Structure 1
Amino acid sequence: MNRYLRALVVVPTGALKMGFAKLFHPKSFHGPALCMVSPHSEITLNGGKLTIGSGFKMRDGAKLRVRKGAECVLGKNVSLNSNDMIVCHEKIILGDNIQLSPNVQIYDHDHDYRAEGGLAAMKFKTAPVEIGNNVWIGANCVILRGTKIGDNCVVAAGSVIKGEFPTNTLIYQKRDTEVKTREVGV
């Protein structure tokens, strides 16, 4: 779609979504009046606090969920791409100038499958996620609880990461592709 035509759709949609968020969550939502938010995206506040900086963009299918008692802070010029998902149960902080490629998942929690009642008990282990300024996260990445990424980093496509990563680093996972010949009719 032509970018100007797209802007005619997503800017008013963003204003409506931000306006409704401010109207229904006046104490827990702080964000810009104007931003580019797709009509096919989702922002859910279930008793958590959400702060969004200026220049926010959210493409089709992106989901941002902040659960009860959690805090999510998105800096200036944060861009969520198609089918990205951020789910916050404790604390997620994204700095300024963050670019997420399609299908990125960011979680500050894991299901506690050892809890009495198993997964049905809906118990979680949580740890904050912090992502610095000027970070690009490639397509199909998963950022797990307790992850800290410094400023000026690139996370290569398809990475599943957890841990602390210093400023000015390229984060990638080496994978060997193995091919085995299968014997047919033996």
Structure 2
Amino acid sequence: MFFLRVMLRIRSLFYLISYKTLYQNKFNFNQLILLGRMFKLEIIGRESRVVFQGKFYCRNNIYIVAENGNVSIGDNVFFNNGVSICSMKKVHIGKNTALGENVKIYDQDHVFNKPGDMYKQGYKTEAVTIGENVWIGSNVTILKGVTIGNNSVIAAGSVVTKDIGNDIIYMDKREPTMKKIKRKNN
């Protein structure tokens, strides 16, 4: 067990040195953070930043991308396997927060109601803020513009599209719906 902990620290140090060398002042951390296998960080754009404000531990297959956006992760935060964050504006995660497996956080949505190629229509962005001492269950998706209050729990499988206050247990029991896309001509 001791050997595995030493190897985890060496691997984490390798990741940190590599990303600090590559991204310089766009990537900041205050202390050694422990990173599992397949930790991937992409920082794209002049104003983009990724900041770890304290202790951080994650398992495997973590993907964080700041594309013209900022990601801020508080002290004592944990990510389980498969967490993905994509920021084109701002994502903030407060201290003492835990994310379950396969949590996805997006601070943008695709624009899709214009004629023409879907992938060329652009994005709408709004910041995502997750408070302190929050537990987010497995397979949760958090979408743009959401604020989750302190001491809240998000149940596994939920899709969060609206703000959640402090001290709330949120469960999303969705029913399937289909709507026709209404195209707008410019």
Distance 1:16 1:117, change over 3 A: farther
Q: Give the drift of 1:147.
A: 0.6
**Equivalent position of 1:7 in the other structure:** 5
**Equivalent position of 1:182 in the other structure:** none
| Percent of pairs with identical residues | 28
Residues 18-29 of structure 1: pairs in structure 2 closer than 5 A: 18-29=16-27
Query: 2: distance between equivalents of 1:129 and 1:175?
Result: 21
Aligned partner of residue 36 in structure 1, secondary structure: coil
For structure 2, the residue ranges without an aligned partner over 5 or more in a row are 176-186
Asked if 2 retains the 8 angstrom alpha-carbon contact of 1:15 and 1:33, the reply is no
Q: Give the drift of 1:32.
A: 3.5
1:60 aligns with 2:57: no
**Equivalent position of 1:163 in the other structure:** 162
Residues 138-153 of structure 1: pairs in structure 2 closer than 5 A: 138-153=137-152
Query: 2: distance between equivalents of 1:28 and 1:147?
Result: 24
Asked if 1 retains the 8 angstrom alpha-carbon contact of 2:158 and 2:173, the reply is no
Aligned partner of residue 165 in structure 1, secondary structure: coil
Q: Give the drift of 1:6.
A: 3.6
Query: 2: distance between equivalents of 1:59 and 1:31?
Result: 18
Asked if 2 retains the 8 angstrom alpha-carbon contact of 1:83 and 1:104, the reply is yes
2:29 aligned to which of 21, 28, 31: 31
Asked if 1 retains the 8 angstrom alpha-carbon contact of 2:137 and 2:154, the reply is yes
**Equivalent position of 1:120 in the other structure:** 119
Alignment length (residue pairs): 173
**Equivalent position of 2:105 in the other structure:** 106
Query: 1: distance between equivalents of 2:174 and 2:90?
Result: 31
Query: 1: distance between equivalents of 2:26 and 2:115?
Result: 32
Asked if 2 retains the 8 angstrom alpha-carbon contact of 1:89 and 1:108, the reply is yes
**Equivalent position of 1:70 in the other structure:** 69
1:163 partner letter: K
Q: Give the drift of 1:115.
A: 4.3
**Equivalent position of 2:49 in the other structure:** 49
Q: Give the drift of 1:39.
A: 2.7
1:84 partner letter: V
CA RMSD of aligned residues (A): 1.7
TM-score by length of 2: 0.86
Query: 1: distance between equivalents of 2:4 and 2:42?
Result: 23
Asked if 2 retains the 8 angstrom alpha-carbon contact of 1:71 and 1:90, the reply is yes
Q: Give the drift of 1:116.
A: 5.3
- Bigger Rg, which one: 1
| Deviation sequence 1:112-146 (CA, Å, 0-9, x none) | 11245432216111110000000000011000101
Aligned partner of residue 21 in structure 2, secondary structure: helix
Query: 1: distance between equivalents of 2:113 and 2:28?
Result: 36
